[in-house]
Chains A and B, each alone.
Chain A
């Protein structure tokens, strides 16, 4: 296989190959890995990041980062916790999602109306949401253990459905709707999109609302899994989401997204965590390994781009 063909192959299947090798290696080395429990474990630990990663993929494709989704996860969780006694579990979750979407619109309005860069604006609202979460909860997690059926979203069926639904909807938007093309155009070159008659502000508002909604779904899942409305949840969740998006091959500067890549990268990180846990590797070494993996993937990308430019 010559070099150009290798890179083309790598573009398409590289992540899948790494995932495959990792799974085979773990299955061979760790008897306990070879069980259905591993798949369920993967689904329940990775579903929140996978779902928010889909939203983040569209956001980065459109050229914006949302750093506030980790704090938003806590805010939505706390909101659900506070509202359960009044609205019941379903009502509280719906209210939580609505609030998450509204928070996304606030981000979008700050960026489009006040003309603040997304990175800085969401850095600000990250503190804002976290502060609100602490304020609403009084600094205490709301215990939901006694709420009937609180663990419903922790069931694998729901998790699978929510992940599939989010990716289905995101892929529909990205690949099949004019909306997706316009998001890419804005991320690729906002001025030329604007001059072509694309409503750049509307696109920006949409992606912020969308990424916030996906983060809110992740919040509902986490709340259900832990049975708490936690004001300290989601610390560095936004970085995890951005990590899987970039590892998945979405262009950092916008214009080109890769939803399948995001999903695969989430699975890869999840599988590595499970494998390292089974091998009793300490958390600090786990972080080290994942950091190295990310740098390796990005370095490979850099090498490939350099080749492309030299050619």
Chain B
């Protein structure tokens, strides 16, 4: 990469950025530059420093050392506001919208249109937002509090917000993590148009396919450093992965082993009015069964209903040959059913609690001394070690707060938590969302090992390559109904998408 800061097309150039947090050197002398009219991908495993770098560019963090230049002029952002004024908008991975505000209010927050320079001009705010959605090809209500919108719609509102600022540089940190194919296509179109308009887009994603679809340039980060980069055409998939993880990773293998024949979970005629209807399937011991579908097809609700997190209208669930009444998660857990929510932050981790407490919270009754309830730390520790040994969780110590771990490591702790219950059937919702490639591979290996031990896995996933790689079989849902039941040989991305869009219904 050229380092001539006088170059006109360099919209933002960061040089020698260094940022440390207590105990961690997050960025260690990073150079990074983006040009006008380019899509610049940034890849790296979780904890590589991508998000930290973007937060420096966005004014959330102030670097300990190094300089940032915007259009050649030195800039020091003390707040996100100053970065926005300088023409840099960032769609952060975890900073959400204000839930009580409407889409229109969220998008215009901080630069509300005014009438006579005083009143908030709500009418023009709503009009502008509607026009913006129209232009994006999205149908999202503008006057409903965003907390009532689906996750994918919220993500699109967030993207709309960044676009509407007319920023020269738009940073998107994992923008597709909660989007389905349709919205991803919309996003692609938006990004390409922004590029034509001469804006620079910084695109962070774990999905290499998206990067090859979109990006012109790439920067690969590892352990707080830039380990490679340049025009994307100089790289192939394998080279990028090797740079990211620092070793070769085997990818895209299919399952070859056979699942068992014993039915461990039987769902018959399950229905919830307006959400899903007439869903029936069997899950066998040692099998990984995928559930695919677009956002809103009802697959998350189905998973929650099976586990007892929400009620269902009709149908039945049999677990290990016995009916499982919809009595809530406690009953399901006692009956050896495990569940991991897709929403790791609000339905998974206890952020302020230690790694150890997070891993053992479901088996306290077993670990604690009977009658007195005393919880021996040694027993907790033994349990933690037993279930985390195979997963290589990176953490400083068992007493470290779990919130300080990267997303992939948090996910492994959650897996350890569920596995500690000795469950026979495991329902996983998007277990690798926002998880880096290395940790993904470890989670896949773990699933295979669980299958080998006879544990059955119901995998709700919107990551099609993942489904192809780890599932023996997959169900596909469309508008609340099963439209596909594809065997290993019949599974392909195209086939799944055809069922998921209602083009084709098939069983194999």
Contact = CB atoms under 8 A, between A and B. Distances in A.
Contacts of A191: 95
Interface in B74-110: 79-81, 84-85, 90, 92, 95-101, 105-106, 109-110
A194 B80 contact: yes
Given A194-B80, A195-B60, A195-B80, A251 B112 contact: no
Interface in B32-84: 58, 60, 79-81, 84
A177 interface: yes
Count class of interface residues, chain B: 20 to 34
Interface stretch (B113-121, B193-201, B259-267, B371-379): B113-121
A176 interface: yes
Interface in A26-43: none
A273 interface: no
Contact of B101 (A177, A184, A194, A310): A184
A282 B508 CA distance: 77
Contacts of B114: 178
A191 B80 CA distance: 10
A89 to B, nearest CB: 34
B368 interface: no
What secondary structure prevails in chain B residues at the interface with A? loop
Contacts of B100: 184, 187-188, 251, 254-256
B112 A181 contact: yes
B221 to A, nearest CB: 22
Contact of A197 (B106, B110, B310): B110
Most buried by A among B99, B114, B311: B99
A255 B99 contact: yes
A46 to B, nearest CB: 28
Contacts, number: 76
Contact of A181 (B80, B90, B120, B310): B120
B139 interface: no
15 contacts: A176-B119, A177-B118, A181-B101, A192-B96, A193-B110, A194-B80, A195-B80, A196-B109, A197-B81, A197-B84, A198-B109, A199-B81, A255-B98, A256-B100, A310-B310
B98 A178 contact: no
B111 interface: yes
A20 B99 CA distance: 33
Nearest to B55: A195
A189 B99 CA distance: 7
Nearest to A190: B98
Contact of A192 (B79, B84, B98, B118): B98
Nearest to A180: B120
Contacts of A184: 98, 100-101, 105
Contact of A198 (B85, B96, B110, B120): B110
Contacts of A189: 96-99
Contacts of A198: 81, 109-110
A236 B60 CA distance: 40
B92 A188 contact: no
Contacts of A199: 81
Contacts of A197: 79-81, 84-85, 109-111
Contacts of A254: 100
A184 B101 CA distance: 8
B95 A195 contact: yes
Given A178-B120, A194-B80, 13 more contacts: A177-B118, A177-B119, A177-B120, A178-B112, A184-B101, A188-B98, A188-B99, A192-B95, A192-B98, A195-B60, A195-B92, A197-B110, A199-B81
A156 to B, nearest CB: 32
B100 to A, nearest CB: 3
Contacts of A185: 98, 101, 105-106, 109
Interface string A160-193: 0000000000000000111011101101110111
